[in-house]
C-alpha cells in the first residue's frame, strides 16, 4: 500500500497547504514510515497518535532558530499524521490512543491487515491520485520533475 499512502499524502498536503517550500519527499517518507509495523508483523506505537506528536516535538525542539530546516523536516510528522488518517488507525481506540488504554498492544491487529481486495482498491485509488497530481502539479514538464526530485518542492506557479 505504498502508493496509497505516499501519493495521497503528498496530494493532500499540496492541496491543503499550497506551499511550494514543503519537502514533499519527506511527507511521502513520513506517510510510509508506519509501514515498518507490517515488516515487524505487529502494531507498534508508529500506529498511535503519540508517534507523530513525539516526532513533531523533536523536530520543533531540535530546529529552533533554523526555520528552513524546520520547514523541511516537518514533512515527516505531517506524513505520519496522514498515515493514521488514511489507514483508519483512528478507528481502533486502543491502538490510536496508546498508551491511554494500557501499555500493551498485544491482541491489536494492524489496520493494513484488511483484505487483499480492499488493499488493491486503495492502491488503485493511489494510482488515480498520482495521475491527477502529475497533471495538476505540472510534472509532465522536465523542470518541474527535476525540482521535485532535487529539492522536494513543487513549482510555485502550479500551486496557485
Averages of pLDDT over each 10 residues, the chain, 160 residues: 95 94 96 94 93 98 94 96 94 90 84 88 97 96 97 93
Q: What does the pLDDT read at residue 90?
A: 86
Helices (H), 21-141: 24-32, 36-40, 50-62, 67-73, 75-87, 93-96, 116-136
Domain range annotation of the chain: 2-159
Q: What does the pLDDT read at residue 112?
A: 84
Q: What does the pLDDT read at residue 110?
A: 87
130: Cβ–Cβ under 8 A, 6 or more apart, which residues? 3, 7
Q: What does the pLDDT read at residue 74?
A: 96
Q: What does the pLDDT read at residue 104?
A: 86
Q: What does the pLDDT read at residue 91?
A: 86
Q: Is the pTM of this model over 0.85?
A: yes
Q: What does the pLDDT read at residue 80?
A: 98
Amino acid at each position: 500500500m505504498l502508493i496509497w499512502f505516499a501519493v495521497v499524502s503528498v496530494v493532500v498536503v499540496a492541496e491543503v497547504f499550497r506551499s511550494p517550500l514543503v519537502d514533499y519527499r519527506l511527507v511521502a517518507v513520513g506517510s510510509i514510515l508506519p509501514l515498518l509495523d507490517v515488516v515487524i508483523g505487529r502494531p507498534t506505537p508508529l500506529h498511535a497518535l503519540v508517534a507523530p506528536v513525539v516526532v513533531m516535538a523533536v523536530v520543533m525542539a531540535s530546529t529552533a532558530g533554523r526555520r528552513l530546516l524546520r520547514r523541511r523536516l516537518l514533512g515527516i510528522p505531517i506524513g505520519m499524521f496522514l498515515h493514521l488518517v488514511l489507514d483508519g488507525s483512528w478507528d481502533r481506540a486502543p491502538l490510536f490512543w496508546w498508551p491511554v488504554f494500557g501499555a500493551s498492544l498485544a491482541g491489536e491487529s494492524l489496520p493494513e491487515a484488511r483484505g487483499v481486495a480492499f488493499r488493491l482498491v486503495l492502491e488503485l485509488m493511489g494510482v488515480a491520485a498520482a495521475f491527477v497530481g502529475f497533471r495538476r502539479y505540472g510534472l509532465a514538464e522536465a523542470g518541474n520533475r527535476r525540482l521535485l526530485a532535487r529539492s522536494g518542492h513543487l513549482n510555485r506557479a502550479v500551486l496557485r
